[in-house]
Amino acid sequence: MSKELIRLKDVSMTFDGDTVLDNMNIYFNDKEFLTLLGPSGCGKTTTLRIIGGFLVPTSGDVFFDGVRINDVPPYLRQVNTVFQKYALFPHLNVYDNVAFGLRIPKSVDEGGTDINSESSGRGKRKKSKKVKLSKDEIDQRVQEMLEVVSLKGFEKRTVSSLSGGQQQRVAIARALVNRPKVLLLDEPLGALDMRLRKDMQQELKRIQQQMGITFIYVTHDQEEALAMSDTVVVMNNGKIQQIGTPEDIYNEPKNAFVADFIGESNIVDGIMRADRLVEIFGRQFQCVDSGFEKDEPVDVVIRPEDVDIVDVTQGALTGLVTSVTFKGMHYDIIVDFKGFKWLIETTDFCPVGSHIGIKLDPDSFHVMKKSEYSGMYGDYSSYSAEYDEISDAEYQEEESVDEEEYYES
Amino acid sequence: MKERPSVGGRVLTILTFVFLYAPIIVLIVFSFNSSNSRTVWSGFTLDWYGELFEDSLIMSSLSTTFSVSIISALVATVAGTAAAIGFFNMKKRTRAPLLAINNIPMINADIITGVSMCLLFVAAFGFLGNFTGWLNRVFGFNLPTRFTQGFGTLLIAHITFNIPYVILSVMPKLQQMDRNLVDAAMDLGCSPLSAIWKVVIPDIMPGIINGAIIAFTMSIDDFVISFFTAGSNSQTLAMAIYTMTKKRVTPKINAISTLLFLTVLILLIVVNIRSSRQEKKLQESMKIKKSFVR
């Protein structure tokens, strides 16, 4: 395991009495691609801004390489940020934007590393040498970085003449050219269209591996998080819900919130009758989970793709198809089981109004302990095809609202 | 479909413009009149313009006007820009009332501003005189104890009434600026102060330049406030014109007024063109962004 680089210890953040982060404890490893994932207002951007130095936590400590950096201002930290709407300098061309950070003389202490400790923060900073890079070195590094983000030949272009994806690359180059130990990315692909987004995901992953540094990535898009990350941190209401690899998070969600937020999930009430034996809808099924008390009430997750549709006579459960949506690769069908609506992904066409049976393998069940989120998610009664897009749009709106709050406070 | 204005409407429009501009046109036309008369046209001449440059009173007031306008515009631009950036970084609760206070001097009657400044200077000079008198007595200095209004007070007054205009023209530029720019600059190693120099100032430069031009224009054509604060030794161009009307009136007044009118007109046109160009540029860049954002 690689070494720990950043640690947040008991970090809380309150704006005007609103708790945005609630006693957060987390560490970030060197050279890791970590994603903070959650709905808007969950505190993920706040976490990023605390690491960047733009916000000072109300309580708790931030450590960088073992040194407390709560009061170190952003311009003395060894992290760089790619901002949500790029925040490129409109009065500078591509080259000057990328060279911006390199042209600022940096303080260097005896050991030759950038100033980073508490004692050398604001105010009582020691008289340290300011080192200015030579023109040739700046040029070499800028060119190198433009190469990395595939923007060679764009040096003299104005920022406003670039497309969204190109602007995004400039923003990444501008941050990376300073050779930070950590790159913070705040929803960097939020403004791009679907195709470009997919390309940039690959690109970002490639750049991260090529540079060999830590990426801390903030997004509300779970697909993006699963596709790119080494580690995913799912957040809600200022609390960490689960930390794990993308596979862990998807296959073994800790509670109903995570199960619902990552992918599609049918979440039903169940009772653990014994190890590897779960009861739902009054029927007992073999499963692979154990370690629960006998007769403990639990939440059971069944992913829509794990359900096999069989003839109504052979089904362990039978239900009525109430809606069918064609999704290209498969159909999304909504099936009513005794008043609880399930989402099932299937390649077989089942017309609305038909009765079907379903079969469930033992490994299609995932059993979770009851939590504060039990009963809030996983029922598809209000499902419609546009639902996802609508909720996406809401995220965007709210995100910009709480951004305003940061500045006002 | 555009509706054609009715005959009555057109007549009304024409009349409005006649009333607005007839006096100025008459003024300009008679500045070229070869006789002294202000009612009878007797031929074209540029003599009156030539005479302007031989009139020492006009030339000295012209230099006063320009020095006061340029210096006050520069100082007000620096102070106003700093104030606007300060306001911008305040919480909304503090910012809103301060901006409202900033607007009061602009809608306030010039005569009130002028008289109150005049009274303030007199009072301040009174105190200052007492203080220097006391210094002279106690320490045996030989400081002047009587102060009078002059170029200094005129300049202070002009700076004061110019600042709100600069703030008003810089503020919208700041509000259009992406707030993340400052964060980005600090992220890349700028201290807060150098972030303002390297990122904020270049970004709001068009607003600053417009503010400076407006301040200069306001200074150049101010009469009332100058009248109360210039004292008896210095005189601006506007004041010189006023004094000339009290003596025998010659078309020289027409000539100098025409020049003043044209200067202010040109400056205002420059400001308007700049503003509309920036507006256009902003809309275009928005259009470009929109086409890339889904």
Of A75, A81, A87, the CB nearest to B181: A87
Grade residue A390 by pLDDT with cuts at 50, 70 and 90: very low
pLDDT at A116 over 80: no
Average pLDDT over residues B240-268: 86
Go through B203-225 and write b for each residue having 16 or more CB atoms within 10 A of its CB, e for each that does not.
bbebbbbbbbbbbbbbbbbbebb
List the single range of A297-301, A359-363, A398-402 with lowest mean pLDDT: A398-402
pLDDT at A392 over 70: no
What is the C-alpha separation between B195 and B10, in angstroms, rounded? 55
Average pLDDT over residues A196-221: 90
Phi, psi of B284 (to 5 degrees): -65, -45
Grade residue B243 by pLDDT with cuts at 50, 70 and 90: confident
Contact B289 A89 (CB under 8 A): no
Residues of B with CB under 8 A from a CB of A: 91-92, 178-181, 183-191, 194, 198-199, 202-203, 205, 285, 288-289, 292-294
pLDDT at B231 over 90: no
**Residues B110-168: pLDDT tens digits?**
999 999 999 999 999 999 999 999 999 999 888 888 888 899 999 999 999 999 999 99
Average pLDDT over residues A171-190: 91
Contact list, B292 vs chain A (CB under 8 Å) = 163-165, 191-193
State the amino acid at position B16 in one-letter form.
T
pLDDT at A408 over 60: no
User: CB of A95 within 8 A of CB of A149?
Assistant: no
State the amino acid at position B262 in one-letter form.
L
**Residues A327-354: pLDDT tens digits?**
888 888 898 887 788 889 888 888 888 8
Residue B231 corresponds to which tokens in the numbers above? 């004292």
Contact B190 A104 (CB under 8 A): yes
Angle in degrees, 0-180, between the axes of helices B151-176 and B92-107, rounded to the nearest 10: 130
Q: How far away is chain A from the Cα of B118, in angstroms, using its nearest Cα?
A: 40
pLDDT at A160 over 80: yes
Q: How far away is chain B from the Cα of A76, in angstroms, using its nearest Cα?
A: 7
Residue A184: how many other CB atoms lie within 10 Å? 26
At residue B117, the pLDDT reads: 93
At residue B229, the pLDDT reads: 93
**Residues A29-41: pLDDT tens digits?**
999 999 999 998 8
- A87, A56, A51, A75: which is closest to A184 by C-alpha? A51
SS3 call for A14: strand
User: CB of B65 within 8 A of CB of B289?
Assistant: no
Contact B184 A81 (CB under 8 A): yes
What count of residues does chain B have? 294
Average pLDDT over residues B216-230: 92
Nearest CA in chain B to A189: B293
Average pLDDT over residues A222-231: 91
Grade residue B54 by pLDDT with cuts at 50, 70 and 90: confident
Grade residue B27 by pLDDT with cuts at 50, 70 and 90: confident
Per DSSP, helices labelled H in A53-121 are 94-99
Contact B188 A174 (CB under 8 A): yes
Of B184, B188, B203, the CB nearest to A104: B188
ipTM over 0.90: no
User: CB of B215 within 8 A of CB of B162?
Assistant: yes
pLDDT at A114 over 70: no
- The mean pLDDT of chain B is 88
Of A87, A101, A407, the CB nearest to B189: A101
Contact A175 B203 (CB under 8 A): no
Average pLDDT over residues A300-305: 90
Contact list, B180 vs chain A (CB under 8 Å) = 83-85, 87
If 0-12 CB within 10 Å is exposed, 13-18 middle and 19+ buried, where does residue A330 land? middle
Average pLDDT over residues B21-39: 85
What is the C-alpha separation between A273 and A275, in angstroms, rounded? 7
**Residues B74-88: pLDDT tens digits?**
999 999 999 999 999
Q: Number of helices (H) and strands (E), helices first, in chain A?
A: 9, 22
Q: How far away is chain B from the Cα of A305, in angstroms, using its nearest Cα?
A: 30
Of A83, A91, A193, the CB nearest to B294: A193
Inter-chain Cβ pairs, chain A and chain B, closer than 8 A: 81
Place of tokens 């404890």: A25
Contact A104 B194 (CB under 8 A): yes
What is the C-alpha separation between A239 and A233, in angstroms, rounded? 10
List the single range of A233-247, A395-409, B208-222, B229-243 with lowest mean pLDDT: A395-409
Phi, psi of B178 (to 5 degrees): -70, 120
At residue B228, the pLDDT reads: 93
pLDDT at A401 over 70: no
User: CB of A12 within 8 A of CB of A57?
Assistant: yes
pLDDT at A218 over 70: yes
Nearest CA in chain B to A164: B292
Average pLDDT over residues B221-238: 90
Q: How far away is chain A from the Cα of B97, in angstroms, using its nearest Cα?
A: 16
At residue B2, the pLDDT reads: 59
pLDDT at A370 over 90: no
User: CB of B286 within 8 A of CB of A85?
Assistant: no
CA–CA–CA angle A303, A308, A311 (5° rounding) = 145
Residues of A with CB under 8 A from a CB of B: 52-54, 73-75, 79-81, 83-85, 87-91, 100-101, 104, 106, 160-161, 163-165, 174-175, 178, 191-194, 407-408
Of B179, B188, B292, the CB nearest to A163: B292
Percentage, residues of chain B above pLDDT 90: 48
Grade residue A406 by pLDDT with cuts at 50, 70 and 90: very low
**Residues B152-186: pLDDT tens digits?**
999 999 999 999 999 999 999 999 898 889 999 99
pLDDT at A214 over 90: yes
List the single range of A330-334, B236-240, B282-286 with lowest mean pLDDT: B282-286
Grade residue B66 by pLDDT with cuts at 50, 70 and 90: very high
Go through A103-128 and write b for each residue having 16 or more CB atoms within 10 A of its CB, e for each that does not.
ebebbeeeeeebbbbeebbeeeeeee
Name the β-bridge partners of A334.
Answer: A323, A343
